[in-house]
Structure 1
Amino acid sequence: MKIENESQLRELYGYPSGRAKDKVLNHLEKHAINFIETSPFLTMSTSSSKGKMDASPRGGASGFVKVLDKTTLVIPDAKGNNRVDSICNIIETGTIGLLFLIPGVDETLRINGSAYLSTDKAYLELFTEEQNSPKACIVVSVEEAFLHCAKAFMRSKLWDASAQIKSHSFPTMGQMLKDQLGLQDEPESRDAMVKRYKKDL
């Protein structure tokens, strides 16, 4: 049966209760702030005015996202490939969802709220120590903040060394793009790719 409305969904799943229902905060407290200041990686989810979705990885040294106060975060828009899918969505709808990860920790932190792109000097100066200073920053107003349980990470064994594959056993990005796009040129080697990436970190 295709689930077509929330009534059918709730009949199948029921409703959250206890901590699952009560854990959502409308601000950052000490544990959420500590999580963000420890995290070196997040995924950013956005949507355009036409409903086009995008999920983008963002990373840096621990604490690369700055906490200004209990409802405000600043994310540097690090140098990338200029697709700017997420930023276009933010400009169109002003909405954002963030998932913060910490290597070795199975729990995650979810943030939902509004966002805008800024070139204000005060924000850019928060990231002057970066190898490549950002041209702009994403300023996030927190509307929901809550911890997510460890089950997905426990199932995937994401941080377990025994679950890791050998990188040389997996096609390089250059090889995959060659196959996907039908390119004739010899694909970029993994070493060459890493060397090129390091210039833009």
Structure 2
Amino acid sequence: MKITTSTQLRELYGYPSGRAKDKVFPTLEKHAINFIKKSPFVVLSTSNKDGKHDASPRGGSPGFVHVNSDSELIIPDAKGNNRMDSLSNIIETGKVGLLFLIPGVDETLRINGNAYISIDKNHINLFASEQNPPKSCVVITVDEMFLHCAKAFMRSKLWDASAQINRDELPTMGQMLKDQLGTKEAPETREAMLKRYKKDL
């Protein structure tokens, strides 16, 4: 049986109460700002007008996402592969979701809001010290912000060293791409790939 209505869903799960209901805020406050300033990693979620979704990892030094005010964030668009999935979606819908992570911390910070792509020099210059300064930035106006509980990270043991696998248990990225694309040339080694990546950091 499929759940096809909100009524069925609520009959199954009920409604949030207490802190789960009350913890959503329309702007950033001191703890959210502190969390962002300590975070080196965020997942940027977008969708286009046809409902095609994308979730893109973004990383940098802790605090690489600039807090411009209690309602505005600026994410530099770091040098990448030019697919432009996230940026194209932002042009179409102007909507984003963010999930901020801090290594070793099981709680996360979630933000939903409106966004646009900026090439304003005032925005670009915020990141002038980067090895590869961005060509554009994503400017986000916060609609809602809330802390997310630790349960998913506790279940996954994401930061627990005992849960880490030996990297050799997975093929290299080069081998996986070779198999997926059916190419004939030798797969790029992990060492060669890392060396190539370092130029774009």
| TM-score, structure 2 normalization | 0.99
- 2:118 paired residue number: 118
Are 2:8 and 1:19 aligned? Answer: no
Cα distance per residue 1:144-176 (max 9 Å; x no partner): 000000000000000000000111221111100
Partner in structure 2 of residue 152 of structure 1: 152
Report matched runs for 1:61-72 at 5 Å: 61-72=61-72
Name 2:39's counterpart in structure 1: 39
Task: Determine helix, strand or coil for the equivalent of 2:25.
Answer: coil
Aligned-partner SS, 1:153: helix
Write the deviation string for residues 7-38 of structure 1: whole angstroms up to 9, x where unpaired. Answer: 00000000000000000000000000000000
Distance in 1 between the 2:156 and 2:27 partners? 30
* Structure 2 letter corresponding to 1:166: N
Residue 139 of structure 1 aligns with which residue? Answer: 139
Partner of 1:90: 90
Output the TM-score relative to the length of structure 1: 0.99
| Equivalent position of 1:182 in the other structure | 182
* Alignment length (residue pairs): 201
Distance 1:199 1:169 in 2: 27
Offset of residue 73 of structure 1? 0.2
User: What is the alpha-carbon distance in structure 2 between the residues aligned to residue 58 and residue 24 of structure 1?
Assistant: 24
The Cα RMSD (Å) is 0.5
Structure 1, gaps ≥5 residues long? none
Name the amino acid aligned to 1:91.
Answer: I
Of all paired residues, the percent bearing the same amino acid is 71
Amino acid at match of 1:147: L
2:105 is equivalent to residue 105 of structure 1: yes
